Structure 1
Amino acid sequence: MALKYGCSINTTVEDENNEEDSPLLQKEAEQLPVPPKCCSVRCNLAIMMFFGFAVVYGLRVNLSVAMVAMVNGTSAQPSLNGSDTKECPASPGTLNSSSQSPDQPDGVPQYQWDSETQGMLLGAFFFGYLFTQIPGGYLSGHFGGSIFLGGGVLSTAVLTLLTPLAAQLGARWLFALRALEGFGEGVTFPAMMAMWACWAPPLERARLMTLSGAGANFGAFVSLPLTGFICHSLGWPAVFYCCGGAGCLWAVLWFIMVSDDPRKHPRISDQEKEYIVYSIGSEGGSHGWSVPLLPMLLSIPLWAIIITQMCSNWSYYTLLTSLPTYMDTVLHFDLRQNSFLSALPYLGGWLFSVLSGVIADNLLERELLSITAVRKIFTAVGLLLPAGFLVAVAFSGCSGVLAVTFLTLSSTIGGASSAGVYMNQIDIAPRYAGVLLGITNTFGTIPGVLAPIAVGQLTKDHSLMGWRKVFYVSAGVSAVGAIIFTLFGTGKIQHWAVSEDETETDRDS
């Protein structure tokens, strides 16, 4: 009998209704000594990924704050028609950026881009991001994820260095450059999932994967205020030089320190290597060239993940790309206030996602809940409660304190979904986790394309009513995602994800 647990649960169509008969721990696996987590190679890998995704999201969101400094605010005043579209009055001590340009060094260029153009530029990244998710996941599952994750960050960083030149050439050039950045970055998350299929013991998946993925929120938290500070001190072009340089430096360290598989790592202890390899079993690792594409596309649990991630990403990408504009045009915070307050929600999301991963793993280790129950609970909490707080933002009106408080609570609690739907691919098909993440992220990126455009259309007049509609839509879409995953999601490994050799071995046992 193969030594395994977690990702080698033998689930077939016949036992779909008997999940509790699939224990997380087999007796043989319980006898394996668990090496220390602190300073382990797998923990160091999670930390490297954490900083990698921090850089990635810094490269992704810097334009949303820099846009406030790049656009000449005196070129076009918002049109106000009637009481419903009256803007909020500027608070004492804030800079009304609708009537003045943000404070930055003399000689820094500014451009006359209207709200529709800004929305297209902010969404351009996702046009390219769409196309490399599935190929990136597929190739990472075959060749290993380290080259794709490192190469994706490196290519995006190099292109980011060219942003000031592209902006000088015109909006079309900047759109094309941002789309190319998305094209390069699209392989990073599928590559991460493919690597964890080889590195993450099943009962440590949540904490390792939420720690590495939490770098995204951390990157947004650091990048947004840092971008505002750099724009104010050095001018907006320096933002892209600093972020691009940081990405190049991280990529060099990544290629020196990381291996695709614990068997190939030169500095891993024998105890940790044995623990990882035997706990994952034969269902992790490389999947070769062949994948069960048709069964994947007909899988209801996979479609539950796809739809839920699309719904969750709608509100996430709306805030990620457009929150600085809301802070600027409605609440009238100056550039430095804007960047700090826009970052505050991501601090809570970062901390809560890591905490959720630890709690989820503890629930599974103590066998208090099944994998399915854990994933559904954390998904529901991470989507329904944030949706309620987004509705509260819509009702907060011109109160900057209330708006920032509710936005922070929404993003903070939203971090719980990191231990839910966002790691469900590796539960249902660990062998094909990279491919599945590529598929789900491809669909999940569609809101990244559409949300900034929708925001641009809904907020043409920079009115409070337009932004209220933005928050209503985001809340409703999130609630739909929570309902769908609760009804159709599962944590059980699917029959098409079990290899024929593994199935025969289990039958013989």
Structure 2
Amino acid sequence: MGIGEGVAMPAMNNILSKWVPVAERSRSLALVYSGMYLGSVTGLAFSPFLIHRFGWPSVFYSFGSLGTVWFTVWLSKAHSSPAEDPQLRPAEKKLIVSSCASKEPVKTIPWGLILSKPPVWALIVSHFCHNWGTFILLTWMPTYYNQVLHFNLTESGLFCVLPWLTMAFSANLGGWIADTLVSKGLSVTTVRKIMQSIGFLGPAFFLTQLSHVDSPAMAVLCMACSQGTDAFSQSGLYSNHQDIAPRYSGVLLGLSNTAGVLAGVFGTAATGYILQHGSWDDVFKVSVGLYLVGTAVWNLFSTGEKVVD
């Protein structure tokens, strides 16, 4: 599953760079990612019913079948670029091609040039810092609800859906805000820094509040707000691959997402170790520290201008 899913995000980024005008970049990316969030909600909502009624294999058969249906439709309807779509009207094709940043196909990848650019490393480091906190919250949230807030399994499952819904809403809100700011004349660099700063400092703030709240309802609200502000990253670092290297946006996302996945692996394991020798406050302090590191790196070295042509 990991091998199959690993290519999805870079491929998606590459296709969007060819199909979506620059002025609609943040909104389009946020919309795509909100589909991923809503898919998680669907899985969390229906999996318990399927397992209870038909057994645990039914989850894999059901969602696997849906994936097969989607793949069939995708093969018949999707095209890598507007130039390859025979059903697209000439005027529409001309409009899309003229307003998109990525037009020419990639023949070779200039790895040395890509890795020599500070904004690329800002993406990689920031993606790592971002995903550390995100993966910990989404992976360990049921345990936190059960051990700290003393929710039962049913309640934990219900409240685990809330952050995903919040992220789906916030991602699209952030995308609309980002594109609106760009259309009003604010530079892409400034917009990316603003949105990603919210995506870092928002979760950091709400995680620090968890040790001060005295009710389960407030703790759940802090969790939801943490993930909601986290989703503004879709208009920050996740949109930046297409800004700085539109022709190689898929390659860049593959690079930064590798760092992000490693953050999830190490962060999830580190959380287990920390909980054996410390507390949840210690877990959140590490995440907050990395959010602050990411904020500093992003604001110092990122840019919204093209650095690799």
Alignment TM-score, normalising by the size of structure 2: 0.94
Q: Quote how far apart the aligned CAs of 1:492 are.
A: 0.8
Larger relative contact order (Cα-Cα within 8 Å, sequence gap ≥ 6):
2
Aligned to 1:238, the other structure's residue is in SS state helix
1:201 maps to what in 2? 21
- Alignment of 1:280 onto 2:280: no
> Are the equivalent residues in 2 in contact too, given 1:384–1:478 (CA < 8 A)?
yes
**How well do the aligned residues superpose, as a CA RMSD in angstroms?**
1.8
2:83 maps to what in 1? 263
Q: Distance in 2 between matches of 1:325 and 1:234?
A: 26
Match of 1:349 among 167, 172, 175: 167
Q: Return the index of the structure with the highest Cα Rg.
A: 1
- Alignment of 1:312 onto 2:130: yes
1:51 maps to what in 2? none
Q: Quote how far apart the aligned CAs of 1:491 are.
A: 0.5
Give the residue type in structure 1 aligned to 2:125: I
Q: 1:165-176 maps to which residues of 2 (within 5 A)? A: none
> Are the equivalent residues in 2 in contact too, given 1:210–1:357 (CA < 8 A)?
yes
2:7 maps to what in 1? 187
Match of 1:413 among 221, 229, 240: 229
> Are the equivalent residues in 2 in contact too, given 1:198–1:285 (CA < 8 A)?
no
Residue-by-residue CA offset, 1:21-68 (whole Å, 9 max, x unaligned): xxxxxxxxxxxxxxxxxxxxxxxxxxxxxxxxxxxxxxxxxxxxxxxx
Q: Quote how far apart the aligned CAs of 1:331 are.
A: 2.6
Q: Quote how far apart the aligned CAs of 1:188 are.
A: 0.5
- Alignment of 1:449 onto 2:265: yes
Give the residue type in structure 2 aligned to 1:318: I
Residue-by-residue CA offset, 1:389-428 (whole Å, 9 max, x unaligned): 011123336x321211100011111111110111101101
Match of 1:221 among 41, 55, 60: 41
> Are the equivalent residues in 2 in contact too, given 1:381–1:416 (CA < 8 A)?
yes
Q: Quote how far apart the aligned CAs of 1:347 are.
A: 0.7
Q: Distance in 1 between matches of 2:156 and 2:47?
A: 10
Against the structure 1 CA distance between its residues 471 and 188, is the aligned structure 2 distance closer, same or farther, given a 3 Å change threshold?
same
- Alignment of 1:252 onto 2:65: no
Aligned to 1:259, the other structure's residue is in SS state coil
1:378 maps to what in 2? 195
Residue-by-residue CA offset, 1:193-214 (whole Å, 9 max, x unaligned): 1111211111111111111122
2:248 maps to what in 1? 432
Q: Quote how far apart the aligned CAs of 1:292 are.
A: 1.6
Against the structure 1 CA distance between its residues 333 and 241, is the aligned structure 2 distance closer, same or farther, given a 3 Å change threshold?
farther
Q: Quote how far apart the aligned CAs of 1:235 are.
A: 4.0
Q: Distance in 2 between matches of 1:226 and 1:451?
A: 28
Q: Distance in 2 between matches of 1:445 and 1:374?
A: 26
| Corresponding residue pairs, total | 309
1:485 maps to what in 2? 298
Give the residue type in structure 2 aligned to 1:199: W
Q: Quote how far apart the aligned CAs of 1:284 are.
A: 3.2
Q: Distance in 1 between matches of 2:103 and 2:14?
A: 9
Q: Distance in 2 between matches of 1:227 and 1:330?
A: 25
Q: Distance in 1 between matches of 2:30 and 2:230?
A: 13
Match of 1:333 among 139, 146, 151: 151
Identical-residue share of aligned pairs (%):
38
> Are the equivalent residues in 2 in contact too, given 1:229–1:336 (CA < 8 A)?
no
Aligned to 1:459, the other structure's residue is in SS state helix
| Structure ranking higher in helix proportion | 2
Give the residue type in structure 1 aligned to 2:305: K
Q: Distance in 2 between matches of 1:314 and 1:183?
A: 21
Runs of 5+ unmatched residues, structure 1: 1-180, 499-509
Against the structure 1 CA distance between its residues 484 and 396, is the aligned structure 2 distance closer, same or farther, given a 3 Å change threshold?
same
Q: Distance in 2 between matches of 1:467 and 1:237?
A: 34
Q: Quote how far apart the aligned CAs of 1:482 are.
A: 1.2
- Alignment of 1:363 onto 2:181: yes
Aligned to 1:394, the other structure's residue is in SS state coil
1:401 maps to what in 2? 217
> Are the equivalent residues in 2 in contact too, given 1:225–1:336 (CA < 8 A)?
no
2:141 maps to what in 1? 323
Q: Distance in 2 between matches of 1:323 and 1:196?
A: 32
Residue-by-residue CA offset, 1:281-326 (whole Å, 9 max, x unaligned): 6x434211x2221121111011111111110101111122221222
- Alignment of 1:473 onto 2:286: yes
> Are the equivalent residues in 2 in contact too, given 1:228–1:335 (CA < 8 A)?
no
Residue-by-residue CA offset, 1:46-100 (whole Å, 9 max, x unaligned): xxxxxxxxxxxxxxxxxxxxxxxxxxxxxxxxxxxxxxxxxxxxxxxxxxxxxxx
More displaced stretch, 235-244 vs 352-361: 235-244
Alignment TM-score, normalising by the size of structure 1: 0.58
Runs of 5+ unmatched residues, structure 2: none
